[in-house]
Amino acid sequence: MIEQIRAKSRGQWAVVTGASSGIGEACARQLAQAGYSLVLAARRKERLSALAVELGKSTNAEIVITELDVTDREAVSAWARANQATLKKVRVLVNSAGLAAGLDTFDTASLDDWEQMIQTNVMGLLYVTKAVLPFMLENNDGHIVNIGSVAGRHTYPKGNAYCASKAAVKSLNESLRVDLCGKAIRVTEISPGMVETEFSLVRLKDADKAKAVYKGIQALSAGDVADAVSWSIGRPAHVNIQEMVIYPTMQASPTVVHRS
């Protein structure tokens, strides 16, 4: 996938949110290897710093890191104002910041968990996209990649607000694409099934329960999803991969999984 986007990346910048772990980190690695300079954003600055040092040595990419909570509207706006010179060069935005919190029935779910998911998965995506999009419009060039989920297409027991948040991502992607029609800005949604990252640990807050989620199945890796992101970005400018849904081979739906 790297070779497919290297020719397009010379002198180009990409913003990746949620870059301190999981899919966001994997996307940052692939984009750096492909020649992009990077703006990496996440809440865990220590992890970003370590990643930036590693990628700087292995790829010579120029990397800017920022400690950013995408749910903080004012912080996102301030970040965009302070980094205008860099954001003017951005051609790719990967909105990877997201999470699931809790796995409870509707009547027992935590309101705090609901608010955290909606604020991160929906409002965070909106805040960052709203901040970066004007620079893409000024250049009439860009590609926005939003990480969705199969949960946005098929609800499952105890998924309630998480499924709703990812369904919102799907609708926002479609709306953004319609509003930008006629502009040279592409919009892609990558929606994975089971991906073995910190996702289940964050959701369940229990290491043993999180490990059991992936027991008996070869789940997708963060790199598998980053491959899809890289491939989509690497298409010719007249080609827009609108949606890509990716499951592990042994997963047929959010609730149908074959375990060995």
Q: Which residues are catalytic?
A: 162
Closest Cα to residue 224, out of 40, 29, 15, 23? 23
Q: Where are the alpha helices (DSSP H) in the chain?
A: 2-6, 22-33, 45-59, 73-82, 84-87, 111-117, 125-139, 160-179, 199-204, 207-213, 222-233
Cβ–Cβ < 8 Å for 185, 176: no
Q: How far apart are CA 179 and CA 129, in angstroms?
A: 13
For residue 185, what are the β-bridge partners? 142
Which of 253, 11, 14 lies closest to 143, judged by CA?
A: 14
